[in-house]
Structure 1
Amino acid sequence: MPAARPKTLSAPPALARGAMRITPLGGLGEIGRNMTVFEQDGKLLVVDCGVLFPEDHQPGIDVILPDFTSIRDRLADVVGIVLTHGHEDHIGGVPYLLRERADIPVIGSQLTLAFIEAKLKEHRITPVTVHVEAGDVHRAGPFGLEFAAVNHSIPDGLAVAIRTTAGLVLNTGDFKMDQFPLDDRITDLRAFARFGEEGVDLFMTDSTNAEVPGFTTSERELAPAIDQVFATSPRRIIVSSFASHVHRIQQVLDAAHAHGRKVAFVGRSMVRNMGIARDLGYLTIPRGLVVDFKKLESMPDDKVTLICTGSQGEPLAALARMANGDHQIQVGDGDTVLLASSLIPGNESAIYGIINKLTDLGANVVHKGNAKVHVSGHASAGELVYCYNIVRPRNVLPIHGESKHLRANAALAIRTGVDPAGVVLAKDGYTIDLVNGRATISGRVPAAMVYVDGQTVGRATEETLEERVRLRESGVVTVLALIDPATNALAEPLEFVTRGFVRDDRTFDGAAAEVEKALAAATPAQVADLEAVEGLIAGAVSRYLRRVLRREPVVIAVVVDA
């Protein structure tokens, strides 16, 4: 078994001289908002700063950020932000961190920096960037950084080895071991082996597919299924994918070209990212293949391919708007919709809802569940074991995954011979200290969900979301009460105004009696406070509806003096 987690954790003690502290602020217990802070000799290094996409119980939220509370007073000590690759769950939070200190150096590969620079431009931030490639060595304060190529579902992914006086940490980032990648850039196991020979004191490994046996399928094996879609589709083909999934888009472009179809990109992020990938040489587009969307409107349907965002059911993305009928692209009989991506945990309901809507419109929806049109970008159990046997780390910290994924990864590490006492199962906010070659949990710092709601950051709370869910599920009841200030009793019968709450003539028959009881039991201080009186009335009506009708709408009371 892995090392046991302490039952209670408080703020960590001062870091011992010469020790390194590792603090994951996201990505441990969820798929997304990956961020880890490393501390050595009073300086901080951030690896990745991503976002998490909201689930159904978080209505109105755009994205969810890591909690910067523990480093907010120490931003001057941050010597750099290392980005392992360009996916949103690893770079999407960078603009929000740079809002707090804009000159933190951002370190990454060419494509990763290009994606984040385009994103930062929208936030009107000009970053300080440091371009690195696989094999490069870079110094950031007390942290010696060496980068190694890893294969993932986006080009230019990097693992990072972090050297300090406390030891060597190897962070894989997101990776797999595709032996036949589309860009012929394989995970550099020779570098992993070299780090292993040097002695890896802490191995931080991608856990997403730790429960999946064997090896992840090669990207090239998808080509026949994608080609079959293009060969058999009678009308338009609408492909939905991540706006950063360059490899998958390349396969779609190749298939469209082979079958004589023109292609248009739909959606701002898709147009932007594919333009960047093309300009930097990561995407090969035959001359004349990609055209403006407007030109496709006059072409025969069987010569049209559209590539858009929305593969995760995002409500404002192009695919969801098409499914809801409020997009300029109207899906109809004979169209084929190809979902060329995996299902991120938590998004299943939204995605299946869109699939059903598209099917109702007459489209043939092709997805991972009924065709071999997507493979994961993460290492399966066989690949993780292979890496453990190569690296032979002293300590292991599984990262990037839900609890079940972290535990499965930990079990693999132990099976390969890693001392169970050195396998650390942590959560967001846990601090792990590397001292004298041993990694142990030392405390805990704040690591709450930070919600981005339109232009506001961090103002929406769990209570806000609970109220929104209640509004969505049970509606709202407004109680209008006319009260005699002399007697503190109802001067007229209560009036009830409802929105989204189903009622009949007898729904509120017993509510007035509950309100009268509450008013009669009120203290003089409560009677003198209008807000307190409104709270008493709202509480009385809420309890009545919950007890009698088993309903929990949001109840608002408005009191007027008679």
Structure 2
Amino acid sequence: MNVKNNEAVRVTPLGGVGEIGKNMMVLEYDDRMLIIDSGVAFPEDDQLGIDLVIPEFDYVLKNQEKIDGIVVTHGHQDHIGAIPYLLEHISVPVYGPKFALGLLEGQLKEHNLMEKSTLKVVSAGKSVQIGQFTVDFIRVNHSISDTCALAVHTPLGPVVYASDFKFDHTPVDDEKADLQKLAELGSGHPGVLALFSDSTNVEREGYTGSEKDIQESLERIFSGADGRIILATFSSNIHRIQQVVDAAVRHNKKLAIDGRSMENSFETAKKLGYLDAPENLIIDVRDCSNYPDEKVAILTTGSQGEPMAALTRMARGDHYHINVKDSDRIIISASAIPGNEKFIGETINQLYRRGAEVLYEEIADVHVSGHASQEELKLMLNLTDPKYFVPTHGEYRHLYQHAQLAQEAGMPEENTYIADIGDVIEFSRDEVRKIDEVQGGDVLVDGLGIGDVGNIVLRDRQTLSEAGIIIVVLTIDQNGTLLSGPDIITRGFVYIRESEELIEEATKRVEDALKDCEKEGITEWSVLKKTVKDSLKNYIFNKIKRKPMILPIIMQV
């Protein structure tokens, strides 16, 4: 294609900038669209009861007739977890590496979407034509198998989406990053138009360690253990899991797999050929007690202190099959996702209280990151030599520092752009600029409800969690005369048996307020409910400085 006058490429992030997780980009050229990843984020502390957070899809749904497909970079939930929710509304093929699509297939089956979904495997090093877009899949290293950067070709030059990445020169699977392809894109004609690059570890100097560095640590841990070894890691980190499998084989231990996501990832990786584990190695977690402790290793979920994960339940003492012993050596082989530090700390404390030896990142070499540090980020910039640069995958401070790092590496300040969710970023031959803004943000998933919990509901949940609720039940006739009640019921507010005087006075105040309404002939429910609330609100605050939710229930006969 020849470059037309005023031709431009547009990219709109719908997640993954100014935040950790929920990665999603929409690339547009010549009135056609390509979606890159669509992931979830995990709820913040104030998003009570929420299971997942997914991107706002409005912009995509309004333009679905323009979408040629979805491309995914790797199988982490923050890159593929929202795709089932998206495919409930649009019907387009999904292209990606084999392991990512293998994990996605399991999720689509859970959503009953597999039969109407089209998944197309693209191997690293290959290119695929998706509508008018030619997309190269370029191998990079990360903490999950089969991770690819993408190069989406346009007449103005390729747009490189670097995915989550690091450059591991001694990877466990011997699949090294394709530095040559990245360099070819950077040195070719017309050169890379724009680079979108991972900012997660921009605050770390130097290089990120190799996954193989863990092998020596695991060897020491396994060889020095007199009891069981219990290791928690991310269920998607197949390279780490492979090293645990290999250590268990070398030290003649049986390996139990615990936790639903760990079991699913283990089976998927084994089925697709990404994991090599002898059949006689694996035992059911329920059978661990049938073997001597020194012959047992357990691979489990819970590295982030998730309340219902297997390791967390062991720490609390309510796991169905595993009771933590003094002789146990427990390894948390993961770093904390921002926001999870408190949960992880509490899990570690509880494990120590149960007498176990606990090894974790701060005190032992049991984890290496899957994200590039500063020198690798500079290398990505130098290899691709982009005209424009947009830092992604990080909170605002990460994006800002990555932009500064790029400028130190020679990128002109006017050619860098720090994006917000919903920005329509236009790349032309002359400049990068924001030309519009579309609706973007968080959609909250609570059970089977998608988007039906908003700020008002969350505010109510916050109030309930902090101050409890008072329910006032009463019956009136058509003239507003009080026939029965008011009865006051509380939950999470005060213990009624120890607060009888407070409840009696509150009941009297409601009665007096309702008598005043009756005298004035007020029978409208909205006014009566407001009267009940007002009669209690100030009294309770003045009495005990609390602001519970007050819920009047008025029945008329």
How does the TM-score come out when normalised to structure 2?
0.91
Q: Could you give the per-residue CA deviations for residues 424-471 of structure 1, whole angstroms, max 9, x where no partner exists?
A: 111112211122342211222222211111111111112222222322
- What residue identity is the alignment partner of 2:131? G
Q: Could you give the per-residue CA deviations for residues 340-388 of structure 1, whole angstroms, max 9, x where no partner exists?
A: 1110001112222222222222222221122110111000111111222
1:496 to 2:485 alignment: no
Is contact 2:228–2:294 with CA below 8 Å preserved after alignment?
Answer: yes
1:316 to 2:304 alignment: no
- Please identify, of 443-452 and 549-558, the stretch whose mean Cα deviation from structure 2 is larger: 549-558
Taking the aligned partners of 1:518 and 1:441, their CA distance within structure 2 comes to: 57
Taking the aligned partners of 1:431 and 1:545, their CA distance within structure 2 comes to: 50
Is contact 2:422–2:438 with CA below 8 Å preserved after alignment?
Answer: yes
Aligned identity (percent) is: 39
Is contact 1:113–1:131 with CA below 8 Å preserved after alignment?
Answer: yes
The alpha-carbon distance between structure 1 residues 135 and 53, as it changes in their structure 2 partners (threshold 3 A), is same
The alpha-carbon distance between structure 1 residues 338 and 18, as it changes in their structure 2 partners (threshold 3 A), is same
Taking the aligned partners of 2:521 and 2:331, their CA distance within structure 1 comes to: 61
Is contact 1:35–1:66 with CA below 8 Å preserved after alignment?
Answer: yes
Partner residue of 1:558 out of 549, 553, 557: 553
Is contact 2:481–2:518 with CA below 8 Å preserved after alignment?
Answer: no
Other structure's SS at 1:323 match: helix
Partner residue of 2:204 out of 191, 203, 212: 212
- Please identify, of 488-497 and 131-140, the stretch whose mean Cα deviation from structure 2 is larger: 488-497
1:162 to 2:155 alignment: no
The alpha-carbon distance between structure 1 residues 497 and 253, as it changes in their structure 2 partners (threshold 3 A), is same
Displacement of 1:537: 2.4
Taking the aligned partners of 2:282 and 2:217, their CA distance within structure 1 comes to: 22
1:3-18 superposed matches below 5 A: 18=7
Partner residue of 1:189 out of 168, 175, 179: 179
Taking the aligned partners of 2:16 and 2:427, their CA distance within structure 1 comes to: 20
Partner residue of 1:448 out of 429, 441, 451: 441
- Please identify, of 322-331 and 197-206, the stretch whose mean Cα deviation from structure 2 is larger: 322-331
1:122 to 2:110 alignment: yes
The alpha-carbon distance between structure 1 residues 441 and 550, as it changes in their structure 2 partners (threshold 3 A), is farther
The alpha-carbon distance between structure 1 residues 551 and 415, as it changes in their structure 2 partners (threshold 3 A), is same
Partner residue of 1:388 out of 381, 392, 397: 381
1:232 to 2:220 alignment: no
- What residue identity is the alignment partner of 1:478? I
Match of 1:258 in 2: 250
Is contact 1:80–1:107 with CA below 8 Å preserved after alignment?
Answer: yes
Partner residue of 2:81 out of 82, 92, 106: 92
- What residue identity is the alignment partner of 1:432? I
Q: Could you give the per-residue CA deviations for residues 225-277 of structure 1, whole angstroms, max 9, x where no partner exists?
A: 22222223332222112111101111111222222210011222222211221
The alpha-carbon distance between structure 1 residues 193 and 469, as it changes in their structure 2 partners (threshold 3 A), is same
1:468-479 superposed matches below 5 A: 468-479=461-472
Partner residue of 2:137 out of 139, 147, 161: 147
- Please identify, of 459-468 and 167-176, the stretch whose mean Cα deviation from structure 2 is larger: 459-468
Displacement of 1:518: 7.5
Q: Could you give the per-residue CA deviations for residues 299-326 of structure 1, whole angstroms, max 9, x where no partner exists?
A: 1112111112221222222222323333
Displacement of 1:148: 1.0
Taking the aligned partners of 1:118 and 1:249, their CA distance within structure 2 comes to: 19
How does the TM-score come out when normalised to structure 1?
0.90
Match of 1:13 in 2: none
Displacement of 1:48: 0.6
Taking the aligned partners of 2:20 and 2:342, their CA distance within structure 1 comes to: 16
The alpha-carbon distance between structure 1 residues 541 and 369, as it changes in their structure 2 partners (threshold 3 A), is farther
The runs of 5 or more residues in structure 2 that have no matched partner are: none
Displacement of 1:166: 4.3
- Please identify, of 522-531 and 202-211, the stretch whose mean Cα deviation from structure 2 is larger: 522-531
Is contact 1:231–1:259 with CA below 8 Å preserved after alignment?
Answer: yes
Displacement of 1:510: 6.8
- What residue identity is the alignment partner of 1:76? E
Displacement of 1:539: 4.9
Taking the aligned partners of 2:298 and 2:224, their CA distance within structure 1 comes to: 16
Aligned residues, how many?
545
Displacement of 1:392: 2.2
- Please identify, of 512-521 and 305-314, the stretch whose mean Cα deviation from structure 2 is larger: 512-521
The alpha-carbon distance between structure 1 residues 346 and 524, as it changes in their structure 2 partners (threshold 3 A), is farther
Other structure's SS at 2:249 match: helix
Match of 1:60 in 2: 49
Match of 2:281 in 1: 289
- What residue identity is the alignment partner of 2:85? Y
The runs of 5 or more residues in structure 1 that have no matched partner are: 1-15
Partner residue of 1:416 out of 409, 425, 431: 409
Taking the aligned partners of 1:521 and 1:396, their CA distance within structure 2 comes to: 68
Partner residue of 2:420 out of 417, 427, 439: 427
Q: Could you give the per-residue CA deviations for residues 21-52 of structure 1, whole angstroms, max 9, x where no partner exists?
A: 21111111221111111122222111111111
Displacement of 1:523: 13
Taking the aligned partners of 2:156 and 2:523, their CA distance within structure 1 comes to: 63
The alpha-carbon distance between structure 1 residues 483 and 452, as it changes in their structure 2 partners (threshold 3 A), is same
